[in-house]
Chain A
Amino acid sequence: MTRRLSRETLIKWAPLLVLLALVIFFTALNPTFFSLRNFARIAIASAPALMVAVGVTFIIVMGSIDLSMEGTISLTAVAFAFIFAQFGGSLGGMGWIAIPLVLVLGGAIGLLNGIVHVKLRIPSFMASLAMGFVGTGAAILLTGGDIVKVSDAAFRGLLTVRWLGFPLMVYIAAFFLFVAWFIQTHTTLGRNFYAVGGGEDLAHASGLNVTRVRVTGFALAGVFYAIAAILVVARIGQAESVTGSNFMFVSITSVVVGGVALWGGIGGVWNALVGVLIVGVIDNGMVVIGLPDFVQDGVLGLLVIVAVVLSTDRKMVSFVK
């Protein structure tokens, strides 16, 4: 019993310790790492990734997985750019309408994901991967391969207007992190995610509509991907069919490294935050200490394996596919 307890405690705190160790490590190698300017840089890079990670956290807590984020982000980013331009191309005018519309679109894509997964009874990783391809395809179709610029000063203010050294988009990401935390801890839906992840049969037997919880989870994730898409567009000032590329790898890595167990039921949005920061610090730190940036994917890949290994209780798992 004590062994189990200590193991759980370790798993719970290990990600945070890793994060602290990384910060100390990079600061020791290059003191400029530990500065407000650099933290702001990490925060800007991490804000969209955080939204994606939070979205997929809900899914992973349910024991499923969502690999559709690249397609969903590309499609919603492109859709946002087009709708924004359609309504005058300025946040001061009618352009703000694009924001709720795109959030609804993200939710709808997620809903479709969930329905394909649940109704056709296809494992979620494959259903969402396929839907992700469809999303990217739709984004290519909309843009014809072109880049759509969004240069409205008020909208780009999300990046340019700073408050205590951090741009507005960081605060927006923080706000939605709290919304996610609220959903996770203070709503029936949040409890239901854990119920499904902890044991689907049991949840079903206690009268929970598991199908509905799953589909809602995917829709909720879709909304968060759409928020991420808007933040990405604000950061780089353009949208195209590859806007979402690499988010799959980074967000899954973050969530898993942050301590959300792939088997479901364990972890939450705070783990996603710690995970995103670990990935962000590694990305940034490698550049700061002068390592080429292409090492990241390899390092993150190994990190994922280590994280999954650490979070898996071997006695509970008989075999994996």
Chain B
Amino acid sequence: MDIQRLKPHLPWITLVVLVAIVGFTDPGFLRPSNLLGLAGDIVPLFIMALGLTFAIYIGGIDLSAQSMANMVTVIASVYLASMGAWVAVFCVAAGFLLGMLSGYVTTRLFVPSFISTLAIGGVAFSIAQWLSGQRALNMDAVQRNETFGWMIGRTWGVPHELLIAAVLVAICLFIERRTTLGRALKAVGAGELAAAASGLNVARYKILAFAISGALAAIAGLLFAVKLSGGAPTIANGFLLPAIVAVLVGGTPLTGGVGGVVNTVVGTLIVAVIRASMLYFEIDATRQQMVFGIVLIVAIALTIDRAKLRTVK
């Protein structure tokens, strides 16, 4: 089967073809400054997608990522004044703990992950509304620049967001390729029952995967809050769909086990190019959601491993 051999290469072929099409019709698109700007803008989304990769890699899903990012924008805006740079640690810890909670509920209480993360997302949303008093908040501009200004500047034309993304990719790649945790996650994704039968503490690794997803969603929220210099309980709404799309078009299937961090990098770039091309071809921003919804269905249909699903529920 040729198509089967081609399948792992489809994501980057798609990316190259898309870039070629857009670059051909709009030469300005390929200017380095334009490409860098485009990549810089997509970084918060990318970080969220990076986290989701771990949840999807083990065959689960994290629908709380968006609420988590929302909550963190609020936490960051509220506590920046009193905690200074430590607020970043606090935010990431909050994301990590709530993610752990999702993982605990999923593995120990046998609640399917799409329900448990939806429920934890509801909790995060409540916290965000409570802390913000249901208003949009602003950070103190001077303090933001002093504490987190380094996150959003440019050095030699390279947006700093890209450097943050590169560091996170390196860390995640290290986890995926060079640690026992990465191996274990692959085993769980490839076949949970077999992993459990070979003596792996599946529950612990799954909880960790959800915790990583939560922590990265929190970092995405933090960066987003710094970029916008403020936060609100619904400010990051609209992130979840493209983030899931990024993971899936990158080639990590909903059934888990294959794909990974590098795939999500490619997937996010595909999402970025689709977005940019929609602007260029003057497709209304209001149609984006429809387009991404359809892309999502196509991506799942192409990538999902049907051999793993005995019955499709």
In the complex, the answer to whether A133 meets B106 with C-beta atoms within 8 Å is: no
A172 on the B face (CB < 8 A)? no
- Interface stretch, picked from A76-84, A174-182, A307-315, is A307-315
Minimal beta-carbon separation of B298 from chain A (angstroms): 9
Minimal beta-carbon separation of A185 from chain B (angstroms): 23
A90 on the B face (CB < 8 A)? no
Contact count band on A: 35 or more
Interface of A is mostly: helix
B306 on the A face (CB < 8 A)? yes
Minimal beta-carbon separation of A99 from chain B (angstroms): 26
In the complex, the answer to whether A262 meets B113 with C-beta atoms within 8 Å is: no
Partner of B110 from the list A65, A304, A309 (CB cut-off 8 Å) is A309
Minimal beta-carbon separation of B3 from chain A (angstroms): 16
Contact count band on B: 35 or more
Partner of B59 from the list A256, A314, A321 (CB cut-off 8 Å) is A321
Within 8 A of A (CB), among B157-181: none
Distance of A312 Cα from B193 Cα, bound (Å): 19
In the complex, the answer to whether B118 meets A249 with C-beta atoms within 8 Å is: yes
Partner of A314 from the list B110, B116, B284, B292 (CB cut-off 8 Å) is B110
In the complex, the answer to whether B293 meets A131 with C-beta atoms within 8 Å is: yes
Distance of A213 Cα from B313 Cα, bound (Å): 13
Q: Which residue of A lies closest to B112 (CB)?
A: A320
Which residues of chain A are near B60, meaning CB under 8 Å?
A: 321
Q: A123-B254, A133-B241 are in contact. Are A262 and B112 (CB under 8 A)?
A: yes
In the complex, the answer to whether B290 meets A127 with C-beta atoms within 8 Å is: no
Q: A122-B312, A319-B193 are in contact. Are A252 and B118 (CB under 8 A)?
A: yes
Which residues of chain A are near B134, meaning CB under 8 Å?
A: 294
A201 on the B face (CB < 8 A)? yes
Which residues of chain A are near B301, meaning CB under 8 Å?
A: 120-122
A292 on the B face (CB < 8 A)? yes
Within 8 A of B (CB), among A115-149: 116-118, 120-127, 130-134, 136-138, 140-141, 144-145
In the complex, the answer to whether A295 meets B126 with C-beta atoms within 8 Å is: yes
A31 on the B face (CB < 8 A)? no
Which residues of chain B are near A295, meaning CB under 8 Å?
A: 126, 130
Q: Which residue of A lies closest to B192 (CB)?
A: A319
In the complex, the answer to whether B126 meets A141 with C-beta atoms within 8 Å is: no
Distance of A120 Cα from B298 Cα, bound (Å): 9
Which residues of chain A are near B291, meaning CB under 8 Å?
A: 137
B14 on the A face (CB < 8 A)? no
Within 8 A of B (CB), among A288-317: 292, 294-302, 304-305, 308-309, 312, 314, 317
User: Which 7 A-B residue pairings sit nearest by Cβ, starting from the closest?
Assistant: A298-B126, A301-B122, A137-B290, A137-B289, A294-B129, A134-B293, A133-B293
Between-chain CB contacts (< 8 Å), 21 pairs: A121-B306, A122-B304, A125-B114, A126-B300, A130-B293, A134-B294, A137-B286, A137-B289, A140-B286, A145-B286, A248-B118, A249-B118, A294-B130, A297-B122, A298-B127, A301-B121, A304-B115, A304-B118, A304-B122, A308-B111, A321-B60
Which residues of A line the B interface, CB within 8 A? 63-65, 67, 116-118, 120-127, 130-134, 136-138, 140-141, 144-145, 200-201, 248-249, 252, 256, 262, 264, 292, 294-302, 304-305, 308-309, 312, 314, 317-321
